[in-house]
Amino acid sequence: MTDHHQPGERLPDASAIVHPTLDPTYPNPHSAGAMVAFKLAWALAESYKRGGQMPADLRQYLLNATTLAGLGTIADVVDLRGENRVLAGFGLKALEQSDLVGVRALVAAADLAGKGLDSYDIAFTLAPMLNAAGRMGHARLAVELLTTDSEYRALQIAQYLKEQNRLRQKCQREIFKQVKQRITEAGLNHPDRKTIVLAGENWHTGVVGIVASRVIDTFYKPTILINLENGIGQGSGRSIEGFNLHAALCACRDHLIRFGGHEMAAGLRIEARRVEAFAEQFEACARSQLTDRVLSSALSIDAEASIRDFSEQLMRELSALEPFGQGNPRPVFATRGVRLIAPPRRCGARSDHLQLSIQDDTGAVRCIGFGMGPLEKKLVESESFHVAYEPQYNTWNGSTQLQFVLSDIQFE
């Protein structure tokens, strides 16, 4: 068996266990599950070499597996340094040229064909579509998509997964709205509170983990959300830097039926009657470890720059740092004293995003601020302001232009 989650005190009874943390000298303990499976496949393929040469069909299989393992490594949000970074990089390069009909169908369904894929496309478009199969139903369809030889069947599944992902997003928004209201009503957003644990009925178990991530984006506290059904709760948790979620669950294990995961994400099962006691002990555990400084969300700025600095050469140099992700985030820059060129425009299905064009003394650029729609009025009233952003190229209707993806706006 293969796995990458933190192993328990007692290992399963198996003929063989492949796990990146069992050997303390292994240099890449934070492997994704896809990486672990890939390493096993590679080792097995090596044993079938004939006269030092690997059979052609087996070699092609490993090339395809590299693509899938790279996709899985980025999707699993593991640390993209060392071996993970190397595999993810090769996987990205091979993704668009993949001869797997399922991969091609997935890219086409996501409207990404011929656009030059990067880690953002995988993490926020392709991976959610693949994961939608398991979150909203059964992961069997994702497996079939990536193994089928039928182009028609692959396109059929890819379109279905696209629709399932749309339904997942709708379900996620509805649960998040309920959760935010309950957090406020229960006072869990109070500065003295270190954690958030909530249980509710009819919360889709495949979605609560994503909602927990959104709760952290909003309130920045370790969060566990639990769906209750017939007296049993199934939950998912997400953590913040500096708080080992798996270790905290180990400390609260007397309240749990079972649990598993790692430092930043975990799942659990619990009796409904024990949720309250578990929440109290989980909070006590966090209080003993977390300081107010750890619970303060901060934006790390890599450098101050002017708009003119982002030449084609600099953008090429920044792209050489790919793949970006956990452990290797996109560089964030800041520019002071920018001004609006024209009134900003709200966009998105719910008008919660903001499009704006800004200028400083060196140049002008278009920006997109996701979730920044409510700042429209304040921007119009401000003579100048400061922005933090990730510079990216945006391709639309065949035209590619520099765009700043805003991380924050600071008013003078």
pLDDT at 404: 96
Summarize pLDDT for 150-204 with one digit per residue, the tens: 999 999 999 999 999 998 889 999 999 999 999 999 999 998 899 999 999 999 9
pLDDT at 389: 96
pLDDT at 295: 65
Segments making up each domain of the chain, as ranges? 33-168, 187-287, 303-411
Summarize pLDDT for 213-264 with one digit per residue, the tens: 999 989 999 999 999 999 999 999 999 888 999 999 999 999 999 999 888 8
pLDDT at 355: 95
Number of C-beta neighbours around residue 48 at 10 A: 9
CATH of domain 303-411: 2.40.50.460
Q: How confident is the model at residue 293 (pLDDT cuts 50, 70, 90)?
A: low
- Asked if the model's pLDDT at residue 395 lies above 80, the reply is no
- Asked if the model's pLDDT at residue 101 lies above 70, the reply is yes
- Asked if the model's pLDDT at residue 405 lies above 70, the reply is yes
Query: In terms of pLDDT, which residue wins out, 275 or 21?
Result: 275
pLDDT at 132: 82
- Asked if the model's pLDDT at residue 135 lies above 80, the reply is no
CATH of domain 33-168: 3.90.1640.30
pLDDT at 224: 97
Mean pLDDT of 199-213: 92
Q: Are 234 and 269 in contact (CB under 8 A)?
A: yes
Same fold, 187-287 and 303-411: no
Topology (CATH level 3) of domain 187-287: Diaminopimelate Epimerase; Chain A, domain 1 (3.10.310)
- Asked if the model's pLDDT at residue 52 lies above 90, the reply is no
Q: How confident is the model at residue 402 (pLDDT cuts 50, 70, 90)?
A: very high
- Asked if the model's pLDDT at residue 113 lies above 90, the reply is no
335 closest CA partner among 313, 367, 380: 367
Using DSSP bridges, classify how beta strands 223-229 and 333-340 pair: parallel, antiparallel or unpaired.
unpaired
pLDDT at 99: 83
Distance, in Å, from the CA atom of 342 to the CA atom of 15, rounded to the nearest integer, reads 66
Long-range contacts formed by 68-72: CB under 8 A, 24+ apart: 68/34, 68/38, 68/100, 68/103, 68/146, 69/32, 69/34, 69/35, 69/37, 69/38, 70/94, 70/95, 71/34, 71/95, 71/103, 71/122, 71/126, 71/127, 71/130, 72/32, 72/33, 72/34, 72/35
50-78 exposure pattern, b = at least 16 Cβ within 10 A, e = fewer: eeeeeeeebeeeeebbbbbbbbbbbbbbb
Summarize pLDDT for 5-20 with one digit per residue, the tens: 877 778 888 888 888 8
Summarize pLDDT for 296-340 with one digit per residue, the tens: 677 889 999 999 999 999 999 998 888 888 888 899 999 999 999
pLDDT at 96: 73
142 closest CA partner among 151, 129, 152: 129
Which residue, chain included where needed, has tokens 């949000």? 77
Q: Are 138 and 181 in contact (CB under 8 A)?
A: no
Put simply, whether the predicted model's pTM sits higher than 0.95 gets the answer no
Supply the mean pLDDT for the chain.
89
